[in-house]
Chain A
Amino acid sequence: MSTQAPAPDQMSLSTSALLPTPAAAPDQTSAPAFAFAQVAMSASSHVPAHAAASPGGRVFPALTGARPAWRRRFANRFAAIVAAAGCLAALIPLGFLLAAVVSRGAARFDLAFITQTMRGVIGAGGGALHAIVGTVFITAATICFSVPLGLAAAIYLVEYGRGKLARTVTFLVDVMTGIPSIVAGLFAYALLSLLLGPGVRSGLAGALALSLLMTPVVIRASEEMLRLVPDDLREAACALGVGKHRVITQVILPTALSGLVSAVMLGVARIVGETAPLLLVAGFTDSMNLNLADGRMATLPVYIYSQWQNKGLDAAAYDNRAWTAALLLIGFVLILNLLARLAGRLFAPGAKRHARAS
């Protein structure tokens, strides 16, 4: 891996070929995992000060010959080391976390766990089928609520929004990211109690509460992705006289697709582990419920929490179930992530060009 040419990816092939690519630098082959420490081309002294301007007009004042080469080389290497250290700082805890979940979750990772519910189970045994089904249903419903709304709102903010409404929406989306999950649950509960009478509990109510949490994440993230679509594309399309909605659906959305997919996945990750609001509005049950619109529905996070928190005398059985459910939940998000990325890649125009984005 480390022998791969470290040509910067932003460059098109032709340009990078023109550069004095340091692929052959001797220290390159010894770089451990990444083609990190790439020593600079020592061309700096040829570049007159302040003359380094990009086509876009940005001036690179720092690219002057005033700095000694060793300092630049050191800074470059140091940055690479910092990037690697950052990765390690994130990956090492992840490794420990996953090891903990896998080792503790392995005890009950069996067929019974994904084919049985907890109905009638006391102590050991039982499974989480009802919670798995509930999580899939509620997550799907939440996506159905949040993604169309969030995406449309993001499109509005980026492509149409001006004036008071846009400012208000931006303001409100900011505020919305700060909704504590339990308040979302309270709101959904109060709203549905008002509409449908007291004591209402359903998977759909849970999805409603979760949508309040997911929508702002989807809006904020996809707004960012839509803004990244170069204006040249918009202008080129408009110059052809294409209607704006076509520019959006045929140029902007496809271009931003991989980013939008990751925006949606951010939203899903935000809500899939939520416990408190679901306990309030989707309730807690041992039994299977296939009807999103009526009755309590268990979900994996609520299952994990209640298995861990409310143990009987046979505490180990509860612990094992909780960790196995955690393992399943992580697996569920992973699968969803993979599917979304696959979809993003399949639908993206010029799949090769955008593959690096994922």
Chain B
Amino acid sequence: MSLTTDRLEMGPVAGSASAHSGTALADPSAPLSGVPYAGLPDPGLPAPRPRIGLATRRSRRDRLAELAAQKTAAGAGWAIVVILAGVLVFLLVQGWPALAAGADDLPAHASDFWTLAGPLAFGSLWASALALSLAAPIAIAVALAITQYAPRRLRTALGGAIDLLAAVPSVVYGLWGLMTVAPLLARVYPWLTAHLGWLPFFAGQPSASGRTILTAAIILALMVVPIMAAVCREVFVRAPASSAEAAYALGATRWETIRLAVLPFARSGIISGAMLGLGRALGETMAVAMVLSPTPFLVTFHLVESSNPNTVAAFIAQTFPEAHGLETSALIALGLILFALTFAVNAAARRVAARAAGK
């Protein structure tokens, strides 16, 4: 076996750990931002020559394994690229003809594709924004309760119960929303319009069935909460104990400790969880399709009326079974729009997260 000395050629593994850890110590916010470990290999610095232990006994097998691990990981990255490229190409090729289609070929006899797509994109964003603004505070509160407040024995039970929300299939949410939630809310909405009608959100004629975009957003929020809460929980639990200890030691209350030592550390995780939840809300099909009462081409901020903007995903599901020819193309192009929406929202969130972490 060839031993030692070849450590210098080992690429990404190569030492320079000391140099890296030096910077890491100098910048305590390092774990908050970006890729903490990726900057490791630095061919410019000579690796410290190992003296003892494991390092001297690196065998060829070890190096091969290292190489294999690296290639496997990179291969997975490439696989994602290939798969997604495949999906994008598929959507582009299949959806392209719809962009030039006219009123005779498009769903709902839209005069052109963008007339169709615009209101639907608005509906998706609006419903998801409503859902997220309902879900985010609840999810964070739930995650805080589980990790910071609840006694240990209750913690597992509480976590399990919240996980149960994620276990409910969307068809069941749809059924429940249609049969139980909507009729219940139908009794609340007239009160909202009567007392809060001066707010533009609650203006108009309240829906008699309760199947409005607010109802759909509430159902969506219930589906988003467990996803977001699960991520937040993990992040909160892993907030560095030292900061929390320091805060307590200085006499901080529990809330002050959370605010100063837990939440700042968790910010990127919270945003990540919210994005996962948003992905679910944007792409959710069945529950929205079953609960919402949509009107084509409608753009409105009214929350409790019978006529509501439809979402992209629900519209695809409702139109696809009876679609043929260019209509199918238009639906696939709508799928592409949903892609673009998700990406735009994600990119914005990443920017916010990066700015927050950099501050």
Evaluate contact between A86 and B138: CB separation under 8 angstroms. yes
Evaluate contact between A165 and B248: CB separation under 8 angstroms. no
Evaluate contact between A228 and B234: CB separation under 8 angstroms. yes
| CB-based nearest B residue for A44 | B251
> Within 8 Å CB of B1, what residues of A?
none
> Within 8 Å CB of B248, what residues of A?
8, 11, 16, 19
Rounded to whole angstroms, the CA-CA distance of A43 and B261 in the bound complex is 18
Evaluate contact between B170 and A273: CB separation under 8 angstroms. yes
> Within 8 Å CB of A176, what residues of B?
80, 84, 87
Evaluate contact between B161 and A91: CB separation under 8 angstroms. yes
Rounded to whole angstroms, the CA-CA distance of A242 and B138 in the bound complex is 43
Q: In the complex where A12-B241, A97-B176, A191-B90 touch, is A173 in contact with B153 (Cβ < 8 A)?
A: no
Evaluate contact between B250 and A43: CB separation under 8 angstroms. yes
Rounded to whole angstroms, the CA-CA distance of A300 and B170 in the bound complex is 12
Whether B188 sits at the interface, judged by CB under 8 Å, is no
Among A19, A190, A227, A262, the most chain B Cβ lie within 10 Å of the Cβ of A227
Whether B116 sits at the interface, judged by CB under 8 Å, is no
> Within 8 Å CB of B76, what residues of A?
148-153, 155-156
Whether B175 sits at the interface, judged by CB under 8 Å, is yes
Rounded to whole angstroms, the CA-CA distance of A243 and B41 in the bound complex is 12
Whether B196 sits at the interface, judged by CB under 8 Å, is no
Minimum distance in angstroms from B204 CB to a CB of chain A: 26
| CB-based nearest B residue for A35 | B151
| CB-based nearest B residue for A42 | B251
Whether B38 sits at the interface, judged by CB under 8 Å, is yes
Rounded to whole angstroms, the CA-CA distance of A180 and B136 in the bound complex is 22
Evaluate contact between A89 and B55: CB separation under 8 angstroms. no
Evaluate contact between A86 and B145: CB separation under 8 angstroms. yes
Q: In the complex where A38-B254, A158-B35, A161-B77 touch, is A182 in contact with B142 (Cβ < 8 A)?
A: no
Instruction: Give the residues from 149 to 187 in chain A that come closer than 8 angstroms, CB to CB, to chain B.
Output: 149-153, 155-162, 165-166, 168-169, 171-184, 186-187
> Within 8 Å CB of A308, what residues of B?
171, 175
Evaluate contact between B28 and A57: CB separation under 8 angstroms. yes
Evaluate contact between A11 and B275: CB separation under 8 angstroms. no
Which of B11-19, B106-114, B208-216, B295-303 has 4 or more CB atoms under 8 Å from chain A?
A: B11-19
Rounded to whole angstroms, the CA-CA distance of A82 and B148 in the bound complex is 13
Can you offer 8 A-B residue contacts whose CB atoms are under 8 A?
Answer: A9-B148, A36-B149, A38-B254, A178-B341, A183-B338, A220-B275, A241-B56, A330-B167
For the A-B complex with A178-B341, A212-B83, A245-B66 known, give 8 more contacts whose Cβ atoms are closer than 8 Å. A33-B154, A54-B247, A84-B149, A162-B38, A176-B80, A183-B335, A228-B269, A269-B226
A contact residues vs B (CB 8 Å cutoff) = 1-2, 4, 6, 8-12, 15-16, 18-19, 33-36, 38-44, 46-47, 52-58, 60, 62-63, 72-73, 75-76, 78-80, 82-87, 89-91, 93-94, 96-98, 100-101, 148-153, 155-162, 165-166, 168-169, 171-184, 186-187, 190-191, 212-213, 215-217, 219-221, 223-225, 227-228, 230-231, 234-235, 238-246, 248-249, 258-259, 262, 265-266, 269-270, 272-276, 300-301, 304-305, 308, 322, 326, 329-330, 333-334, 337, 356-358
